[in-house]
Amino acid sequence: MLLLRGVRGGARAATRRRARPAWGGDGVSVLCRRPLCSSQASDARVDAVTRGDEVEDNGRDGGGIVVVGVETSCDDTGVGVLRVRQRSCRAAKKTGVGIEAEVLANVVSSQFEIHREYGGIVPRLAARAHEANLPLVVEQALEQAKLSWKEVDAIAVTTGPGLSPCLWAGIRAAEDYAAQHAVPVVAVNHLEGHALIPRLFEDSPAAFPFLTLIASGGHTLLVHVNGVRDYTLVAQSLDDAIGECFDKVARVMGCDGSVSGHPGKEVERLAAQGNPEAIPFRVPLTRSHNVRSCDFSFSGLKSAVRRYVGQRNAEPLSAAEMADVAAGFQHAALTHLENSTRRALVFSGCRMEPAHLEKVDVSMRRKYNKDVARMPDEPLSARPPRSLVVSGGVASNAALRQRLERLANCFGIPLHVPPPRLCTDNGVMIAWAGAELVAAGPGRTLADLRSHADTLAALPRWPLNTMSSVHAST
């Protein structure tokens, strides 16, 4: 995520523009039951989900709590609408599933065209675009959901981390809507939205604790998710985020994203056509003094691609060479993600079953054995992760999904990934995180969502590991 400053423009004039944005995403109607019992969230964790159990209706219309999620942390204006229901105590005890959610709308307005000419995101321009687009995005989302504000029970809004002007655009809008329609507002951490969204769209969701890889344009993290607002940071990028690296490599190669809609997606498309061994780039942090760390680093890889392309002087790359460069870069970047994720699983106490170990290739077996030998005296987590989760914009990369699926299978744990349309920033993940947050404490129910009120303030830096556990604080 490249930030540019000093771009001139009239803020007041720009905020008055009401040109309809280019819509991305569409409404979906998928009923998903989650393993989160409000009164037993700390203890009752089950993987099996039984369909067809009775549900306790609640909410303004008796059909569930309607939550509107607002996401404006960076350059996408996202609004999602969920209908969340509380299960009956009998059904919750039987299955451990405390709430369920139906996605009524998911609308995202992209600012790609606004920022493309600058080669990065301009915070002030992004904030103005949010202010101009958000009323239209909210209107579109409520139209898709076939609801009015009278039927909305709560608003969840991203308050950090992110670009401060963009965060304030969403916060002010959420406060205005809340005051106008007498609904409470829940403050949500953007990264928490990414961490929890995979729990929404699967019949066998990720049970706590799990290890999550958040890979996006602004963040690259490995986090132990022990519960809602109970996180342990395992690893992070020492420099660039993986999504930012993809975007910068795309610009070095002359890809503006006009073909695939995004520079990073253009690199993925070209990589599928190339040979990763034709132009091999070194995998980051593979030297001996780095192998005890699970951290990430992508600046050296980005520079290696820039040097290779720059050596051509004025001679442009052929189509075949561009594909090979993209393939070589993607192979090195994804191998780095896989290496750190595997090491984090091992250092957290996960082990490959002998049957799985015999089936993996020699390279994977050698790396695994070295990780086990370098295991720290104390594991990184008190309990081994029960599953692996990957989210964030880069989670939509098909090659990364295949690699992590294979890795999870080797450890005998499931991989959970949200649908591609919900990997990038969106309002649905914010609405779901808000519902989970309020309903997660002991004795809490979705009815508490109506009386919940957070003091809102933009937190541009809000690390997950600084958040207190809901279970410990309520």
Q: What is the mean pLDDT of residues 312-330?
A: 88
Q: What is the pLDDT of residue 16?
A: 34
Average pLDDT over residues 144-165: 96
Q: What is the pLDDT of residue 464?
A: 87
Cα separations in angstroms, 450 against 49, 384, 456: 27, 36, 16
Whether the pLDDT of residue 209 is over 80: the answer is yes
The domain 210-417 belongs to what CATH superfamily? ATPase, nucleotide binding domain (3.30.420.40)
15-29, 242-256, 454-468: range with highest mean pLDDT: 242-256
- CA 457-462-463 angle, to 5 degrees, is 165
Supply the mean pLDDT for the chain.
81
The encoded tokens of residue 254 equal: 């002359």
For residue range 15-55, list pLDDT tens digits in order: 333 333 333 333 332 223 332 232 222 222 222 222 233 33
Q: What is the pLDDT of residue 112?
A: 82
pLDDT in tens, 108-145: 998 888 887 777 789 999 999 999 999 999 999 999 99
Q: Using the 8-state DSSP alphabet, how is residue 391 labeled?
A: E
Band (288; pLDDT cuts 50, 70, 90)? low
Backbone angles phi, psi at 193, to 5 degrees: -60, -45
Q: Locate the domains of the chain by residue range.
A: 11-201+422-473, 210-417
Among 57-66, 134-143, 147-156, the range scoring the smallest mean pLDDT is 57-66
pLDDT band at 378 (very low <50, low <70, confident <90, very high): confident
Predicted confidence band at 443 (pLDDT cuts at 50, 70, 90)?
low
For the residues 83-92, what does the mean pLDDT come to? 70
| pLDDT at residue 27, rounded to an integer | 32
Which of the pair, 8 or 185, is modelled with greater confidence?
185
Q: Which tens digit of pLDDT belongs to each residue from 406-427? A: 999 999 999 999 999 999 999 9
Q: Is 64 left (phi over 0), alpha (psi -120 to 50) or beta?
A: left
Is 3.30.420.40 the CATH classification of the domain at 11-201+422-473? Answer: yes
Q: Is the pLDDT of residue 242 over 50?
A: yes
Same fold, 11-201+422-473 and 210-417: yes
The residue whose two tokens read 């609004």 is 79
pLDDT for 442 equals 59
CA 159 to chain centre: 15
Task: Identify which has the larger pLDDT, 281 or 446.
Answer: 281
Contacts 24+ apart (CB under 8 A), 3-11: 3/120, 3/121, 3/122, 3/123, 3/163, 4/118, 4/119, 4/120, 4/121, 4/122, 5/122, 5/123, 5/124, 7/118, 7/122, 7/124, 7/125, 9/124, 9/125, 9/128, 11/124, 11/128
